[in-house]
Amino acid sequence: MAQIKSPEELEKVRQGILSGRDPSKPSISVCAGSACLASGAAEVIAAFKAEIKKQGLEADVDTKGAGCPGFCERGPVVVIYPEEICYLQVKPEDVSEIVSSTIKEKKVIDRLLYVDPSTGEKAVHEYDIPFYKKQMRLVIGDNIKIDPKSIDDYLAVGGYSALGKVIRSMTPDQVIEEVSKSNLRGRSGSGFPAGFKWESCRKSEGEPKYIICNCHEGDPGAFADRRLLEATPHTVLEGMIIGCYAIGAAEGYIFVGDEFPQTVENARLAIKQAEEYGFLGKNILGSDFDLTIKVYIDGGGYVLGESSSLMASMEGKIGEPRTKYDHATDRGLWAKPTVLNNLQTWVNVPLIINQGADSFSKIGTEESTGTRVFSLTGKVNNIGMVEVPMGMTFREIVFDIGGGIRGNKKFKALQAGGPMGGFIPENLLDLQVDYEEMKKAGLAMGPGLIVADENTCIVDMVKYYLTFLANESCGKCTPCRDGLRHMLKIMNRITEGRGQKGDLELLEILSEVQKSAALCALGQGASDPLRASLKHFRDEYEAHIEEKRCPAGVCKVLSTALNI
Partner 1 sequence: MGVVTLTIDNKEVKAKEEMTVLEAAQSAGIDIPTLCHHEKLEPYTACRLCMVEVESRGRVKLDTACSSPVKENMVVRTKTEDIIKIRRTLLELMLSHAPDSRELQALVKEYGADKDRFEKEASFCIHCGLCVRYCAEVKKKSAVGFINSGVRREISFVPEIASKECWNCKECFELCPTEALQTAYLFTVAQISDSPSFELESEK
Ligand X SMILES: Cc1cc2nc3c(=O)[nH]c(=O)nc-3n(C[C@H](O)[C@H](O)[C@H](O)COP(=O)(O)O)c2cc1C
Residue with nearest beta carbon to ligand SF4: 523
Which residue in 159, 130, 128 sits closest to 143, CA to CA? 159
Q: Which window, 100-108, 355-363, 433-441, 514-522, contacts ligand SF4 (CB under 6 A)?
A: 514-522
Length of the chain: 564
**Contact call for residue 306 and partner 1 (CB under 8 A):** no
Q: Which of residues 296-335 bind ligand X (CB under 6 A)?
A: 302-303, 305-307
**Contact call for residue 507 and partner 1 (CB under 8 A):** no
Going from the C-alpha of 422 to that of each of 31, 42, 221, the distances in angstroms are: 32, 37, 14
**Contact call for residue 472 and partner 1 (CB under 8 A):** yes
Q: Which of residues 319-338 bind partner 1 (CB under 8 A)?
A: 322-323, 325
Going from the C-alpha of 294 to that of each of 88, 271, 297, 526, the distances in angstroms are: 36, 8, 10, 32
The minimum distance between CB 475 and partner 1, in angstroms, equals 3
Question: If contact means CB under 5 to 8 A according to the sort of partner, which of ligand SF4, partner 1, ligand X, none does residue 90 touch?
Answer: none
Which residue in 423, 190, 407, 387 sits closest to 396, CA to CA? 387
The minimum distance between CB 200 and ligand X, in angstroms, equals 12
| Of the candidate residues 5, 125, 476, 498, the single one contacting ligand SF4 (CB under 6 A) | 476
Alpha-carbon distance of 481 to 368, in angstroms, equals 34
Where does 106-182 show beta strands of DSSP type E? Answer: 114-115, 122-123
Nearer Cβ to ligand X, position 414 or 522? Answer: 522
Question: If contact means CB under 5 to 8 A according to the sort of partner, which of ligand SF4, partner 1, ligand X, none does residue 182 touch?
Answer: none
**Contact call for residue 481 and ligand SF4 (CB under 6 A):** yes
Residue count at the site for ligand X (CB under 6 A)?
A: 21
| Of the candidate residues 73, 217, 434, 437, the single one contacting ligand X (CB under 6 A) | 217
* Three-state secondary-structure class, residue 512: helix
Alpha carbon 313 to chain centroid distance? Answer: 22
Q: Which of residues 298-317 bind ligand SF4 (CB under 6 A)?
A: 303
In sequence order, what are the beta bridge partners of 78?
30, 87
First to last CA, the chain: 58
Alpha-carbon distance of 293 to 252, in angstroms, equals 4
| Of the candidate residues 482, 539, 546, 547, the single one contacting partner 1 (CB under 8 A) | 482
| Of the candidate residues 89, 100, 478, 559, the single one contacting partner 1 (CB under 8 A) | 478
The minimum distance between CB 218 and ligand X, in angstroms, equals 5
Question: If contact means CB under 5 to 8 A according to the sort of partner, which of ligand X, ligand SF4, partner 1, none does residue 489 touch?
Answer: partner 1
Alpha-carbon distance of 546 to 527, in angstroms, equals 23
Secondary structure, 3-state, 229-287: HHHCHHHHHHHHHHHHHHHCCCEEEEEECCCCHHHHHHHHHHHHHHHHHCCCECCHHHC
Q: Which helix (H) or strand (E) holds 339?
A: strand 338-342
State which amino acid sits at residue 459. Answer: V
Which residue in 334, 14, 360, 428 sits closest to 194, CA to CA? 360
**Contact call for residue 190 and ligand X (CB under 6 A):** yes
| Of the candidate residues 31, 201, 240, 470, the single one contacting partner 1 (CB under 8 A) | 470
**Contact call for residue 27 and partner 1 (CB under 8 A):** no
| Of the candidate residues 172, 218, 233, 529, the single one contacting ligand X (CB under 6 A) | 218
The minimum distance between CB 472 and partner 1, in angstroms, equals 6
**Contact call for residue 475 and ligand SF4 (CB under 6 A):** yes
* Three-state secondary-structure class, residue 516: helix
Nearer Cβ to ligand SF4, position 458 or 469? Answer: 469
* Three-state secondary-structure class, residue 27: strand
Tell me the DSSP string of 308-328.
HHHHHHHTTS--------S-T
State which amino acid sits at residue 463. Answer: K
Alpha-carbon distance of 213 to 473, in angstroms, equals 22
Q: Which of residues 480-539 bind ligand X (CB under 6 A)?
A: 520-522
**Contact call for residue 473 and partner 1 (CB under 8 A):** yes
Question: If contact means CB under 5 to 8 A according to the sort of partner, which of ligand SF4, partner 1, ligand X, none does residue 548 touch?
Answer: none
**Contact call for residue 513 and partner 1 (CB under 8 A):** yes
**Contact call for residue 183 and ligand X (CB under 6 A):** no
Using CB under 6 A, list all residues that contact ligand X: 186-188, 190, 192, 214, 216-218, 302-303, 305-307, 340-342, 345, 520-522
Using CB under 8 A, list all residues that contact partner 1: 301, 303, 322-323, 325, 469-479, 481-486, 488-489, 509-510, 512-513, 516-519, 564
